[in-house]
Amino acid sequence: MKHSEQEQVAGRPVRGRIRPGWKLGLLLALACILALGTISEAQIATLTLLEDLSSKLPTGTEFTARDAAGRVYKGHVVTHPAQRLLRRGSMSLVFDDAVVPVTKDREGVFRAGNKMRLLKLGGSLAAAKLADDAVDGAIGATKARYVALGVAAALVFFQKGGEATLHKGDTIDVEPRRGPLWKSD
């Protein structure tokens, strides 16, 4: 195998030679990645609520929040109170400024947790079991199961789910509101 003089360095053949501008390209790529990471992190701000909020409040109730620099943000809540059959309450925070809350939910909705809902469901089933045991000897095992079913159904039907709440001093992450991706005519 013969190699040309350009492909030999110190008398040895060089395979897969890297061009001299690779360092500059790598440096530019790293700078772009760091800049994009810094820009995305810098856009998220943390606000502290100045009053209590709940999904029990009427829709349109105004609230205020403050960031670390002391700027005050105002807005109103859109609420959906807890319903029967253990349906949980929810609320959305709508700011007058061009920011939206960052939540686990894509739509920025704050929901009540599942812990109380599961405890209420478990309590309903425990009460049904106690009702079953209480009437088992008097009316028989088969009819006692129907009593237990009725007790469980009544308790689940009449209990409400949990209310979504945010307390004074709680923090919320917000980011700038994005405009539409396209304009419709």
pLDDT in tens, 61-79: 999 999 999 999 999 999 9
pLDDT at 3: 47
Does the predicted TM-score (pTM) go above 0.95? Answer: no
Contact of 81 with 56, CB cutoff 8 Å = yes
Listed as ranges, residues in the chain with pLDDT below 70 are 1-22, 32, 34-42, 179-185
Instruction: Tell me if residue 55 falls in helix, strand or coil.
Output: coil
Q: Which residues face 100 on adjacent strands?
A: 175
Contact of 72 with 60, CB cutoff 8 Å = no
Instruction: Tell me if residue 8 falls in helix, strand or coil.
Output: strand
Structure tokens at 84: 């029967």
Q: Which of 46, 174, 49, 171 is nearest to 108 (CA)?
A: 174
pLDDT tens-digit profile of 18-36? Answer: 556 667 777 777 776 766 6
